[in-house]
Amino acid sequence: MLHDDDHSPAQPSDASERTRLSPFVVATGDAPPRDQRDLMERPFFSLAKAKRTAPILYESAGVRVEVFGMADYGMATIWDADVLIWAASQIVAAENSGLTTSRFFRFTPYQLLMAIGRATGAREYRLLKNALIRLQSTSIRTTIRQGEHWRRHQFSWINEWEELTTRDGRVEGMEFVLPDWFYRGVTDRSLVLAIDPAYFRLTGGIERWLYRVARKHAGHQPHGWLFEVAHLHQKSGSMARISDFALDLRRIAARQSLLGYRLEIYREGRRELLQIRPAGASTVPVEKGVETLVTSGAKGIGTSGAALSGLRAHEPQLSLWPAKRNPGANIESNQESNFSSEAHARAKRGAGAARSVADVLRDLFSHDASGSDGGRS
């Protein structure tokens, strides 16, 4: 929404959540990037820049995800999700510094665009507004984190947003309200992982999605994680044919461009498998101190640390710009992932000789049959 005002936004209506929330004012955009684990491993976003209106309908191991985009705008894309990564990063950085946060964000577009590695011209401001429109208009229904009765939760990525412009049309500030489902998934520190700042430089939709899967499942485990390509295709929500999807994975593996991970393609009969292993110290677990973040060469994309950097939460005010839990390790039982790194490690240790993927799978299945609770991610 546009407001012809030089200094302050219009007062929100009584129906607006902003009347009930204290604003979280972002005074600097710098914060080491953090991602929300649920968003990293399940298909919540379109992987293509072309407008997608076909829904994502995904169900696995008792978890259901349904995503719907409006015909006028299309579904939120994995590039639009950079806004949510930025928001999660700001929340984590502030709480690391002992500051209070809120679902109600106040910030400048410049802060956000710089932090996610975008230019700051008129075109980028327009694209940001288009992203906010898609994030607000996309509807999600999921059973994730809904307790023992698996109730369905429905929300949009942004509940509402507003921009402040001057009389000459210059954008001075923005506000948005995050959904409670996402906010709770970030303030629960066991559900947040550090990611490489160079993630924002990845240009391909599948490449971006695959990095998030790698970071979530393989993490820093020496033997990484083994996936069946058909399973990855289902897990991605991609509309591409599985043959085209597999070709994209092979090309990414050939380039070895996945930010600290090495990819290897295996074949077992007609089945194609992808192993993802850590290749270097490009990311750190969320339990590490913010100041120790190691990057893979990104140029200043949100890497300057949080400290007491002016991230603030205040009582409601007229002026737009006014004067925890213990972190969890990157492990959880995950029945949806294909093959664990532990099974692969057992196969490698077997007799000291090279083992086929079939051997790996046999070890895994025999281990599962003996009472294992599945892979760890």
pLDDT score of 165: 84
Query: Residue 15 has what DSSP assignment?
Result: T
Q: Is the residue at 141 inside a domain?
A: yes
pLDDT band, residue 147 (cuts 50/70/90) = low
- Which residues constitute the domain of residue 77? 17-200+287-328
Q: What is the pLDDT of residue 348?
A: 44
55 pLDDT tier (thresholds 50, 70, 90): very high
Angstrom distance (rounded) from CA 168 to CA 6: 9
- Domain assignment present for 292: yes
| Residue that wins the pLDDT comparison between 374 and 35 | 35
In a domain, 266, yes or no: no
Whole-model pTM: value is 0.75
What is the Cα–Cα distance from 26 to 284, expressed in whole angstroms? 24
Q: Give the whole-number percent of the chain exceeding pLDDT 90.
A: 59
Q: What is the mean pLDDT of residues 70-94?
A: 98
Of 120, 90, 160, which is closest to residue 311 (Cα–Cα)?
A: 90
pLDDT, mean of residues 323-330: 36
More confident residue, 365 or 164: 164
Query: DSSP letter string over 85-106?
Result: HHHHHHHHHHHHTT----SEEE
pLDDT over 70, % of the chain: 68
Q: Look at residue 276 and tell me whether its pLDDT is greater than 80.
A: yes
Domain count along the chain: 1
Q: Are 44 and 67 in contact (CB under 8 A)?
A: yes
Using DSSP, state whether 56 is helix, strand or coil: strand
pLDDT one-digit tens code per residue, 336-355: 566 655 545 444 444 333 34
Q: Is the pLDDT of residue 302 over 50?
A: no
Judge whether 209 and 78 are in contact, CB under 8 Å: yes
Average pLDDT over every residue of 210-233: 93
101-107-110-114 Cα dihedral, nearest 10 degrees = 10
226 pLDDT band (50/70/90 cuts)? very high
Measure the CA–CA gap between 257 and 271, rounded to whole angstroms: 24
User: Between 171 and 263, where is the model more confident?
Assistant: 263
Question: What local confidence, expressed as pLDDT, does residue 305 receive?
Answer: 30
| 231 in a structural domain | no
Q: Would you call 323 exposed, middle or buried from its count of C-beta atoms within 10 A (0-12, 13-18, 19+)?
A: exposed
How many other C-beta atoms can be found within 10 angstroms of the C-beta atom of residue 193? 24
Residue 240 belongs to a domain: no
- Tell whether 191 is covered by a domain: yes
Q: Are 30 and 306 in contact (CB under 8 A)?
A: yes
Strands 153-156 and 34-36: unpaired
User: What's the longest Cα–Cα distance across the chain?
Assistant: 75
Residue 288: pLDDT over 70: no
- In this predicted structure, what is the pLDDT of residue 67? 98
Q: Is residue 281 part of a domain?
A: no
Given a cut of 50, is residue 40 above it in pLDDT? yes
